[in-house]
Amino acid sequence: MKKILFLIYIVGSICYSQKFENLAETPPLGWNSWNTFATDIDEQLVKDIADQFVELGLKDAGYEYIVLDDGWMAKERDKNGNLMAHPEKFPSGMKALADYIHSKGLKFGLYNCAGATTCAGYPGSRGHEYQDALLYASWDVDYLKYDWCDTDKLNAEGAYITMRDAIKSAGRPIVFSICEWGDNEPWKWAKDVGHSWRVTGDIVNCWDCELGHGSWASFGVWKIINLRKNIRKAAGPGHWNDFDMMEVGNGMTDAEDRSHFAMWSMLASPLILGNDLRTISEETLKTISNKNVIAVNQDPLGIQGFRFLNENNIEIWVKPLDNESWAMVFVNMNNEPINLNFDWNKHMIGDDINNRILDVKHNVYKINDLFNNTSLGNTSKKLKATIGVHDVLMIKLQKS
Ligand code: GLA
């Protein structure tokens, strides 16, 4: 009898102590409220965003998750210790909001934190993990972003495992998005814990700045990329390096936005929009709904791209794709336009980790410009283009 009980216990722990599999097999695509609205969110805004997903064609382009960040809850738990939706901002409650989002064919995400309080001072999940997971499941939540404020001496891996197990035992498949800012190197331990993990502190809408806030700093696009360009091995289907919600449409130039979007796609990062979709410009919409670029991010191999070279202050990044194809970006880091003149025969491009070679000596690859959807010939000739300030040329190479 003891042996049988022991066996049941072992089988039970194996079944429950894991994340939900077959979720986020490609990087999640969606929108998050934080970058534009901080805690100033309410149910009308969220419904408007869901409507915009459909009207602007973003749903058709693949965007799926609408995630409410910090500030969605009441300042206190109820008398049974349950979290409550903020009564003024979300008077109809979270289940009604989830129903609305689901009725549009979209998915619903919420935020909480491993600490006693969230970063904005709302009730965190510490000590309430299983209770909160059950509540999210009862509200039909599909995605949980889980932060790292007010965690005192908590062990990061242990805290995220506790929440993972709570989600699993609540029974509803929920994408678990770890937001621990890279402090405890989650790329080394989180593959079986979450579906993605933030790799740095918060993003800010600038090209390459670092903004100090006393005890912490936020980082521009290239600060983030350069800080974490060496952890690509950790990413793959179901477990992604998360380079943070995007700042496309939030104040950088259109060229910088294009490069930012191209790079997040090359890095196989979740593509989580952070702009106000109700007032989006045509140019921003064009960038974020470019299906060619999104397809690079969503490539089924799930290989994170890498920096090949910086030549004449042009960042050159490559990403192996399915069908022996490759994506490449050339980002002009100069403060003036530059003429690209890239000689395929002088560069041997290979991905050591995944044993792939872009073999232009024995093959001719067709070249397509992904943002402009035009052909740029093939690799038998030098690649020539003019690239504007902080702009990008993004191409796909296919064997002909
Ligand atoms: C942290 C996270 C941000 C955001 C805020 C909310 O700073 O890194 O992405 O969720 O908390 O308070």
pLDDT tens-place string over residues 75-109:
999 999 999 999 999 999 999 999 999 999 999 99
Residue 276 beta carbon below 6 angstroms from any ligand 1 atom: no
**What type of residue sits at position 171?**
G
pLDDT (0 to 100) of residue 11: 53
Tell me the average pLDDT across 4-11. Answer: 55
pLDDT band (50, 70, 90) for residue 14: very low
**Catalytic-role residue among 70, 132, 165, 202:** 202
Known catalytic residue at 147: yes
Yes or no: say if 257 and 275 are a contact pair by the CB < 8 Å rule: no
At residue 53 the predicted structure's pLDDT band, cuts being 50, 70 and 90, is very high
Rg for the chain (alpha carbons), in Å?
A: 22
102-160 residue pLDDT tens? 999 999 999 999 999 999 999 999 999 999 999 999 999 999 999 999 999 999 999 99
**Is the CB of 34 within 6 Å of ligand 1?**
yes
The confidence score (pLDDT) of residue 280 equals 98
Question: Which phi and psi angles does 130 have, rounded to 5°?
Answer: -70, -40
Question: pLDDT class for 4, splitting at 50, 70, 90?
Answer: low
CA 129 / ligand 1 centre spacing (Å): 19
Is there an atom of ligand 1 within 6 Å of 64 CB? no
Q: What is the pLDDT of residue 165?
A: 98
Q: Is the pLDDT of residue 352 over 70?
A: yes
Q: In the beta sheet, which residues pair with residue 76?
A: none
pLDDT at 232 over 60: yes
Integer Cα distance of 269 and 298 in angstroms = 9
- For residue 245, which atom of ligand 1 is closest to its CA? 9
- Token pair, residue 76, equals 């206190």
Q: How far apart are CA 124 and CA 209, in angstroms?
A: 31
69 neighbors 144 (Cβ within 8 angstroms) = no
CA of 384 to the centre of ligand 1 (A): 42
Please indicate whether residue 147, judged by its CB atom, sits closer than 6 Å to ligand 1: yes
Nearest to 50 by CA among 33, 34, 35, 36: 33
pLDDT in tens, 172-224: 999 999 999 999 999 999 999 999 999 999 999 999 999 999 999 999 999 99
Q: Is 247 in the pocket of ligand 1 (CB under 6 A)?
A: no
CA 358 – ligand 1 centroid, Å = 39
Contact between 301 and 321 under an 8 Å Cβ cutoff? The reply is yes
Instruction: Reply yes or no on whether the pLDDT at 6 is more than 90.
Output: no
**Ligand 1 nearest-atom number relative to CA 179:** 8
Confidence check: pLDDT of 279 > 80: yes
Residue 69 is among the residues annotated as catalytic for this protein: no
Orientation of helix 129-138 relative to helix 156-170, angle to 10°: 40
pTM: 0.96
The one catalytic residue among 42, 70, 142, 147:
147
